[in-house]
Chains A and B, each alone.
Chain A
């Protein structure tokens, strides 16, 4: 049975991971799956491949992301590039506001308990 902290971490990570993916894509305008994986890892956020791709797929189906297949050069294999849609940009703004609000509450609580 998973420990309570592991359950909590899995839940909070999912929303947090989505936010990080949106921010990464916005910063680079467009990224393909393997790049996202590498950049998240470089930031210290390790994500399993089997978790990232289904998440990207759902974010595309839901509308915040758009995807396009491209071949970088003639020898390379096709890669699926993700970018933010207008709807995704708006969604990211709302997510940022909500997350900043949450962080403020968290920091306020931390100060009180110290």
Chain B
């Protein structure tokens, strides 16, 4: 007669939990429990198999009683499948997260590098760089600094062009153009000639950041797409065009300027021009702000 699968499952669980007991004794116990169930069904066929097994109690509990009676350590209660999968899911997620962190640590090592002489902190292998008073830049930037071989007399034209970034334009002490920049890519080795004007062409760099020192009195032409341009202590004429961003203009003390600021979409200060100006400051911004 084929055995009921519920009884088979019950006996299989009993046998599994009874593992600490020698195999011959275990088989004896399993056979006796099976005999008990069949006796109960023989005596009164009415009760279903479930009722007889329920009266016996859970197989794990019965098996643990055998173990306890023999002075053996009872087996741990089985973990519910939901709990089991929750634990597996949690550990899996933690494993993936740990692997991700390890890959990041390997790819971007050293995580933190402090350069005291340059007052610079590099994070994640140079991906994030913090300089000076907290200027933060992202990416692997290279420094490029230089000085023009040419000299510029008052009234000479000079161009500075960039794609995106931050430019700080100051008045130089001498007659040469000087720049201290950083950005991605190969730095320019000198000035280029654009539309017949000597120019510092930085349009091939993304996120360029520059301190530029312009000889006094030149006619400076500045062109940029996105970013910020600060003219500091200006003692030169400016004709600047920026598509998106901010421009601030500060004239050097005692220097007279004729101002012409215009913003298509945005806001612009409109300072009064000085009488008998030394220089002109013509600035155009398509989207953004001009402040004085």
Q: List residues of chain B with CB under 8 Å of any chain A CB.
A: 25, 28-29, 31-36, 38-40, 42-43, 55-57, 61-62, 65-66, 68-70
Contact = CB atoms under 8 A, between A and B. Distances in A.
Contact of A50 (B32, B34, B62): B62
B36 A61 contact: no
Contacts of B40: 34
B57 A53 contact: no
11 contacts: A33-B36, A34-B36, A49-B57, A50-B62, A61-B25, A69-B31, A77-B34, A77-B39, A78-B31, A79-B39, A80-B35
Interface of A: 32-34, 48-51, 53-55, 57-58, 61, 69, 76-80
Contact of A53 (B25, B33, B55): B33
B57 A57 contact: no
Given A55-B69, A57-B69, A48 B35 contact: no
Overall SS of chain B's interface: helix
Contacts of A61: 25, 70
Contacts of A69: 31
A79 B31 CA distance: 9
A53 B36 contact: yes
A33 B32 contact: yes
Contacts of B25: 57, 61
A53 B70 contact: no
Contacts of B61: 50
B65 A49 contact: no
A80 B57 CA distance: 20
Given A48-B55, A57-B66, 16 more contacts: A32-B35, A34-B36, A49-B55, A49-B56, A53-B32, A53-B33, A54-B62, A55-B69, A57-B25, A57-B32, A61-B25, A77-B34, A77-B35, A77-B38, A77-B39, A80-B32
Contacts of A57: 25, 29, 32, 66, 69-70
B47 to A, nearest CB: 13
A92 B35 CA distance: 27
Contacts of B29: 53, 57
